[in-house]
Structure 1
Amino acid sequence: MKYMATYDMMETMRNTNQWLGATAKSMAAFPAFSLMPNPALQWLGAWGEVTERSFERMAAKPDWGLGSITCEDGRDHLIKIETVVERPFGDLIHFEVQGREPLKRRVLLVAPMSGHYATLLRSTVKSLLSDAEVYITDWHNARDIPVSAGKFDIEDYTLYLVDFMRELGSDIHVIAVCQPAPLTLAATAYLAEQDPEAQPRSLTLIGGPIDPDATPTDVTDFGNRVTMNQLAQTAIQRVGFKFKGVGRLVYPGLLQLTSFMSMNQERHSKAFNDQIMRASKGEASDHDAHNRFYDEYLAVMDMPAEFYLSTVERIFKNGEIASNDFVVDGHKVDIGKITTVAVKTVEGAKDDISAPGQCVAALALCTGLPDSKKASHLEPDAGHYGIFAGRSWRDNIRPLVLDFIDANSDETKAKAPAKKAANKNAAAK
């Protein structure tokens, strides 16, 4: 019960800060105060506006915000989000572009379950919609999942991916972003052995910890330094009474956010101080750069405790993927059994979360795959988020990934012919 009380205390603090912000904002806007303009009151109102918005965002799942796109016919087409597979811990969803003929190029984006919602990949989805039918894994907030739904660890995650790939068929191209890269590789190998006809055409792994020890970072150092008992005692709590998942053991989103913010505390403090000053001068807006970033960054979700702990223990500490010793549902997965699925890795030269070398290690594990079906790309000057969002993704990485998909598709290209095969993408030798 002490962990449940701690969980409720964190939610109480969040709720209180949201209320304080709303109160300050309302008080500063009291009409009588406008008789004597006071900079202190302007600052108080701005502080309240920024504080209320920030703490409110921590408890809400962001909207996808994808209203429409302009297609080749020059018309705007509405985007409808449809659920293809519905599961307790996550759904497979499809962004249907209404009024457009289905494209032959089909992409499954595997979103991370690492504290943020799948909407973190909103810009990635948007950038692909004009060129492909896009599907994505939409993971649920663990606090909203009843205990009766059972556990969810990395083996369950892998089996979810296996089922999603089977549902979509073999003419799918999979792109795994960050944390799920090793499990997506394992799911593909599982299908290679158990259901070869359901394998995807290609697999692109972006900034994932296939071999965390290949290039140590602060993340890997932490994983090696802390014991599993320490993690269980300090990071895991029970969901409080307010939510459907009451009693479920989780790694709370608010606790994760505290860790995220502490890694760049000075930068975040400056960003919020600057935003308060802009708001006091009337220069802030709902969709300015600060709000666009922090509306997503502050929106956190609880992670199932067994998923978080098994990730740390089996991926980072034991290196089960890196050593090709991963077991799923009693079956030892052999990554060397992948013989037909083209595999590409993408890394950022300035990635301080999954450093260069960690992801490209996947190619060495694919011993059954010919070199012609392996490719890698190292994006200079790109950090972790830059390799799947922002300018580096849009201008450099996305075109290479689409070329790689087309070069490894048996179907007629959905768009204009690709410039060349995958090896503008630096094929591994």
Structure 2
Amino acid sequence: MRLMATYDLMETMRNTNQWLGATAQAAASYPAMGLFPNPMGEWMAAWGQVAERTFARMVTKPDWNIPNVTGEDGRDHIVAIETCVERPFGDLLHFQVTDRPAKPRRVLLVAPMSGHYATLLRSTVVSLLPDCELYITDWHNARDIPVSEGKFDVEDYTLYLVDFLRHLGPDTHVIAVCQPAPLALAATAYLAEQDAAAQPRTLTLIGGPIDPDAAPTEVTDFGARITMGQLEELAIQRVGFKYPGVGRMVYPGLLQLASFMAMNGERHKDAFSNQIQRVSKGEASDHDAHNRFYDEYLSVMDMTAEFYLSTVERIFKDREIAKNEFVVDGHKVDIGAITTVAVKTVEGGHDDISAPGQCIAALDLLTGLPDSKKASYLEPEAGHYGIFAGKSWRNNIRPLVLEFIDANSKPTKGA
């Protein structure tokens, strides 16, 4: 599998399907087709439209498309996206609400590097912007990063978070969503030992695999069954000549997407079948519910091979975070060194990716933190995406997170 030809073959197949969709739509939309009325022609055009859009989205980085924010002055304020720290594998972005005084809550939203772009958290960003001065980690597509920039694994990811927190300063509140939760915890512990003044005020961990063995899921079962050699052989490919990262070893986004789709294959099949029917009847629109969801869901990015493999081996298989044995740049991080940063965990009762129990395990590792600075919340009916997006997040979780931030905004005595 670790060949450029394999990577290019997958891109060729995607490109061909995009072309077939565009061709089918164009051919079935000729005015002359009206001379031979047949519902098959309308269905063919609808299939082509849906297919072309679907396969085109797979290599498109979504725009943020953040709406204006209404300020306390009653005016709509434009949101400008600024790059505060620029690094080869990821940037620190600031959502600058123009002509609005800076909000006292300075929040760093740590986006997952798990196949999708940071724009997956767009609705989370929109919900927090009216009340926070908001920053986010914007991870780059590995295929666009030249090999000369070197490696990027879980230790590098952790050090990126350390640098971002040093840039933002001590009055920062961190919200880590899913995959980065254990690394955000490690970064905070690293700062507690190495640069206490740069620690954040609070750390909210949402649906992250702090201890994957605390509540096994299909994801953890797969990680336990497969060997690292098998995983490397099955998942890792080398970027082809078309991209700046030619030769870099990656876990391709297209391969990740195939895995995502397979987990709920029947549901996705029904969704696309229904969309084709709606398009053929003229009931669909450019920004209907199907397109809003799949325009984001289908947009995938490559991960560096070393990041993916080290995540599986060190976070899931060896459970270095859960055992408090994680090493960063030669330094063994002690999570018990966190003594002043308030920590809250959030889990979803129906989360089938990071099941309840995996994230709250962080609180047991915080042996140096008073119980008064620990908190947890379980949203009983929420699935994985519901705990950071959708109704559960908006109505229940977001208000609790903001309340937790406000309750722990003042510096701890002696910090």
Q: TM-score range by the shorter chain?
A: over 0.9
CA contact 2:2–2:236 (8 Å) conserved in 1: no
AA aligned to 2:188 is: T
| Mapped pair 1:355 → 2:330 | no
AA aligned to 2:18 is: Q
| Mapped pair 1:206 → 2:211 | no
Deviation at 1:74, TM superposition (A): 1.4
CA contact 2:67–2:126 (8 Å) conserved in 1: no
Deviation at 1:125, TM superposition (A): 0.3
SS in 1 for 2:395: helix
User: For the residues of structure 2 that align with 1:249 and 1:323, how far apart are their CA atoms?
Assistant: 29
AA aligned to 1:380 is: P
SS in 2 for 1:221: helix
Q: Which residue of structure 2 lines up, in the alignment, with residue 88 of structure 1?
A: 88
Q: Which residue of structure 1 lines up, in the alignment, with residue 149 of structure 2?
A: 149
SS in 1 for 2:103: coil
SS in 2 for 1:259: helix
Q: Which residue of structure 1 lines up, in the alignment, with residue 379 of structure 2?
A: 379
TM-score by length of 1: 0.95
Alignment of 1:65-214 (within 5 A): 65-214=65-214
Q: Which residue of structure 2 lines up, in the alignment, with residue 31 of structure 1?
A: 31
Deviation at 1:34, TM superposition (A): 2.0
Identity of aligned residues (%): 77
| Mapped pair 1:366 → 2:360 | no
User: For the residues of structure 2 that align with 1:28 and 1:100, how far apart are their CA atoms?
Assistant: 51
SS in 2 for 1:135: strand
1:288-321 CA distance string (max 9 Å, x none): 0000000000000000000000000000000000
User: For the residues of structure 1 that align with 2:177 and 2:266, how far apart are their CA atoms?
Assistant: 27
User: For the residues of structure 1 that align with 2:315 and 2:337, how far apart are their CA atoms?
Assistant: 20
CA contact 2:2–2:233 (8 Å) conserved in 1: no
Q: Which residue of structure 2 lines up, in the alignment, with residue 261 of structure 1?
A: 261
User: For the residues of structure 1 that align with 2:12 and 2:394, how far apart are their CA atoms?
Assistant: 40
Deviation at 1:67, TM superposition (A): 3.4
Q: Which residue of structure 2 lines up, in the alignment, with residue 414 of structure 1?
A: none
SS in 2 for 1:354: coil
User: For the residues of structure 2 that align with 1:255 and 1:213, how far apart are their CA atoms?
Assistant: 25
AA aligned to 1:313 is: E
User: For the residues of structure 2 that align with 1:33 and 1:99, how far apart are their CA atoms?
Assistant: 54
SS in 2 for 1:87: coil
Q: Which residue of structure 2 lines up, in the alignment, with residue 418 of structure 1?
A: none
CA contact 2:345–2:360 (8 Å) conserved in 1: yes
Deviation at 1:69, TM superposition (A): 1.6
User: For the residues of structure 1 that align with 2:81 and 2:233, how far apart are their CA atoms?
Assistant: 39
AA aligned to 1:28 is: A
User: For the residues of structure 1 that align with 2:238 and 2:225, how far apart are their CA atoms?
Assistant: 25
Q: What count of residue pairs does the alignment treat as equivalent?
A: 411
User: For the residues of structure 1 that align with 2:280 and 2:48, how far apart are their CA atoms?
Assistant: 10
Deviation at 1:2, TM superposition (A): 6.0
| Mapped pair 1:289 → 2:289 | yes
5+ residue gaps, structure 1: 412-429
User: For the residues of structure 1 that align with 2:215 and 2:87, how far apart are their CA atoms?
Assistant: 35
| Mapped pair 1:242 → 2:237 | no
CA contact 2:360–2:376 (8 Å) conserved in 1: yes
CA RMSD of aligned residues (A): 0.9
Deviation at 1:73, TM superposition (A): 1.5
Deviation at 1:70, TM superposition (A): 1.5
TM-score by length of 2: 0.98
AA aligned to 2:153 is: D
AA aligned to 1:410 is: K
Q: Which residue of structure 2 lines up, in the alignment, with residue 64 of structure 1?
A: 64
CA contact 2:176–2:205 (8 Å) conserved in 1: yes
